[in-house]
């Protein structure tokens, strides 16, 4: 009886060990700390870009930081809910063209590079953001 219980315990424990948590894009971006760093570099990139900065003239950096952090976390399968506005509502009235959209993507690439994110993870994040393009441009 005792050995049966021990066997069951061992089986239960090895069952736990054989199901490791699936590695997510969030993990590959460096988790919460990594995304914090990416967002800091991204905001810095925007702050130095003469074409993109004017779009943010009336924005609150602290809110943008909080919501874009949640957004990147959520879209990369991290443990966060996105509590900001939807993509259309945010960008409506900005009349963003394709050129400026691509420019923001380039700024994000720069931020990912500065944060030391490996290239495959950079491309995976951008691939998840790309489908949002039609909600953002010409609104």
Residue 99 marked as a ligand binder: no
Assess contact for 61 and 43: CB atoms under 8 A.
Answer: yes
39: contact with ligand HEM by CB under 6 A: no
95: contact with ligand HEM by CB under 6 A: no
77 vs 100, which CB is nearer to ligand HEM? 100
Binding string, 47-86, against ligand HEM, x = CB under 6 A? Answer: -----x--xx--x---xx--xx--x------------xx-
Assess contact for 80 and 73: CB atoms under 8 A.
Answer: yes
Phi-psi category of residue 93: left, alpha or beta, with phi > 0 → left and psi -120 to 50 → alpha:
left
Whose CA is closest to 29, among 101, 123, 106, 98?
123
Shortest distance, CB of residue 78 to ligand HEM, whole angstroms? 14
Angle at alpha carbon of residue 7, lines to 6 and 9, rounded to 5°: 65
Helix 98-114 crosses helix 31-47 at what angle (to 10 degrees)? 130
Shortest distance, CB of residue 50 to ligand HEM, whole angstroms? 12
Please give the residue ranges that form the binding site for ligand HEM (CB under 6 A). Answer: 52, 55-56, 59, 63-64, 67-68, 71, 84-85, 90-91, 94, 96, 100-101, 104, 129, 132, 136
């Amino acid at each position: 009886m005792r050995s049966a219980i021990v066997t069951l315990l061992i089986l239960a424990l090895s069952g736990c060990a054989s199901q490791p948590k699936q590695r997510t894009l969030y993990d590959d971006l460096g988790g919460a700390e990594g995304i914090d760093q990416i967002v800091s570099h991204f905001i810095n990139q925007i702050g130095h870009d003469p074409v993109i900065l004017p779009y943010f003239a009336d924005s609150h950096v602290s809110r943008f930081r909080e919501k874009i952090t949640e957004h990147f976390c959520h879209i990369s399968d991290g443990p966060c809910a996105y509590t900001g506005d939807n993509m259309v509502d945010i960008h409506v009235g900005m009349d963003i063209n394709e050129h400026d959209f691509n420019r923001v993507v380039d700024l994000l690439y720069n931020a990912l590079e500065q944060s030391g994110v490996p290239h495959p993870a950079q491309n995976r994040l951008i691939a998840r953001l790309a489908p949002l393009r039609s909600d953002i441009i010409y609104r």
